[in-house]
Structures are given as structure tokens and as C-alpha cells.
Amino acid sequence: KILLLSICVAYIAVKWTAPSFDPESLRGARVLVTGASKGIGEQMAYHYGRFGAKIVITGRREKALQQVVERCLSLGAQKALYIAADMANESEPDKVVDFALEKLGGLDYLVLNHIGSSSFSMWEGDVEHTRWLMKVNFFSYIQMAWKALPSLEQNKGSLVIVSSVAGKMPSPFVAPYVATKSALNGFFGSLYHELALKKSNVSISICTLGLIDTESAMSKVKGLVKAPAYPATEAALNIIRTGATRQQELYYPWFTHIICVIRDWFPPLTNYLIQNSINYNP
């Protein structure tokens, strides 16, 4: 109990000392959000729109992107444009960043959020799917980050990576997804230090999310996972706030941080909790 209490006190202290968020800082900011045709990315696009940012969004489905752009404009975005792209295609990540740089005249924020679809089931040896997922969820991220870095550097910009608690604490039924998120955490964790050593202007924020109530996540885990799901719109706002205040990490909901901290201290307890959060009868 004392241990848990100390963790909670330390957590509250960290939160209190976190820099405060000024939504006005996003007025006119030039933002590229990936995977914004639905889910958390869509909600981020609306928040950026309300804050008066200039945004480019991307995803594969043109019609959905068009509708999101229209809503962003009606909410107050200074500019809202879309470009349809499939991140499994090696030339598309560069194409998307070039489009945003050209249309917005530079970038202040690059928010990497998209994911390819992957089933919620036991791994049955499908290496090809894992290879494809790495392209979409990982390689396209590092390609876009590299392409955008010079402009972000020029504008004291921010790189925001949307990751998952699954990338820190592997859970069953999502092995290929876990691999891609672990790769992101490792790669951008390393890049964070390299930029700091170079005294770069660019901040990197890695966002660790728990279960969020997006349609795609809910349809996959329904009846299989016992954990509660948290609102996409709030997750989106927390991601934006983390990028705008240039914080290194976000844990949303808050207790995901505690789960990650205690993981290494009590492995049997962690294993018990993970395996008991799943409904599975062989």
C-alpha cells in the first residue's frame, strides 16, 4: 500500500510540474496528422481545427478525408487539406510530407498516428502480414520523420508519435502490432537522445495509450478484453497537449504509467493481470 501510495504521490508531483498548455499557441500552427480519416486521428483533426491551426490530414479513403476536412473548416481551422495515401507503398510517405510542406509552407507539427489493420487473434505464423504491418506502422513513420525534420528544425517544431501500452508491455493476440509499436518506441526513443545531443530545436513526444473507444478497436476486442476503454476525443486532446508543450512522454489514461512502472518489479503479478484481462477458453 505504501509503495502504491508513493507511486501515486510521485505521479501527481510530475503532473503538477508539467508545463501548462496554451491553446492559442496552435492558432496558425502548420500540422500534418496521419490516419485522420477516423478514430483518434479524426478527433485530433477536429481539435486542431477548433484551435485555428492549418492542417493537412491523410489516410487511404478520400471520401472520409474530405468529410473530416469540411468539418475542420467549419470548426475554425485556418486551412484544412487532405491527401489520400497508402503507407504500405514506399513512395507515399515522402509524397505526403512534400504535399504538406508545399501547401502549408513548412511544418510545426508532424503527428504520426496511422496504423494498418491487424486481427485480434493468436499468431498463426503469418510473417507476410507482419512484414506488411511493419511497413505501414513503422517504416513509413521513420521515412516521414526524416523527410519532415529539416522543416521542423527550422520552425522549432514537434514530432509526435502515437504509440501504445502494448509497445511497452506485450499483450496476447496482437503480436505483429506489438512488434511495430515496440519498434517505434525504440527508434524514436533513440532519436530523442540524438536530437538532444545535437541540441536540435525539434521535440519528440511518444504517446503511450491504453484501450481507446474507437470503432476499429472496439469491434476487435468486444467480448474478448475486460479492460475499460477511454474516449478517443480526450485521448486526442491529450496527445495534442503533449506535443504543444513539448513533453517527452504521454501516458493516457494516467494509470497506464503506473502499470508500466510496476511491470518490471512484479513480473508474476503483471503476467497474471495481462492474461486475466482476456476472455479466452481453449
Restricting to residues 164-183, name those near ligand NDP by CB under 6 A. Answer: 164
The binder of ligand NDP chosen from 158, 214, 242, 247 (CB under 6 A): 214
Q: Which is nearer to ligand NDP, 103 or 220 (CB)?
A: 220
Q: For the chain, what's the residue count?
A: 282
- Which DSSP helix (H) or strand (E) runs through 232? helix 232-244
User: At CA 264, angle to CA 117 and CA 2, rounded to 5?
Assistant: 120
Catalytic residues: 177
The binder of ligand NDP chosen from 86, 94, 126, 249 (CB under 6 A): 86
Cell numbers for 208: 503511450
38-67 residues labelled b (16+ CB within 10 A) or e (exposed): bbbbbbbbbbbbebbbbbbbbbbeeebbee
Question: Least distance from C-beta 234 to ligand NDP, angstroms?
Answer: 12
x/- track of binding to ligand NDP for residues 103-142 (CB under 6 A)? ----------xxxx-------------------x------
Q: Which is nearer to ligand NDP, 110 or 211 (CB)?
A: 211
Q: In what order do the strands lie in the sheet with 79-84?
A: 79-84, 54-59, 30-34, 109-112, 158-164, 203-209, 249-252
> Measured at CB, which residue is nearest to ligand NDP?
39
Q: Could you say whether residue 35 binds ligand NDP (CB under 6 A)?
A: yes
Cell numbers for 214: 474507437
Q: Could you say whether residue 83 binds ligand NDP (CB under 6 A)?
A: no
E strands of 53-186, at which residues?
54-59, 79-84, 109-112, 158-164
Distance from C-alpha of 122 to C-alpha of 124, rounded to nearest angstrom: 6
Q: Could you say whether residue 66 binds ligand NDP (CB under 6 A)?
A: no
The binder of ligand NDP chosen from 216, 248, 271, 279 (CB under 6 A): 216
How many residues sit close enough to ligand NDP to count as binding (CB under 6 A)?
28
Q: Which is nearer to ligand NDP, 20 or 273 (CB)?
A: 273
192 Cβ neighbours under 8 A, 6+ residues apart: 204, 206, 248
Q: Which is nearer to ligand NDP, 77 or 144 (CB)?
A: 144
**Which residues lie near ligand NDP (CB under 6 A)?**
35-41, 59-61, 64, 85-88, 113-116, 136, 162, 164, 209, 211-212, 214, 216-217
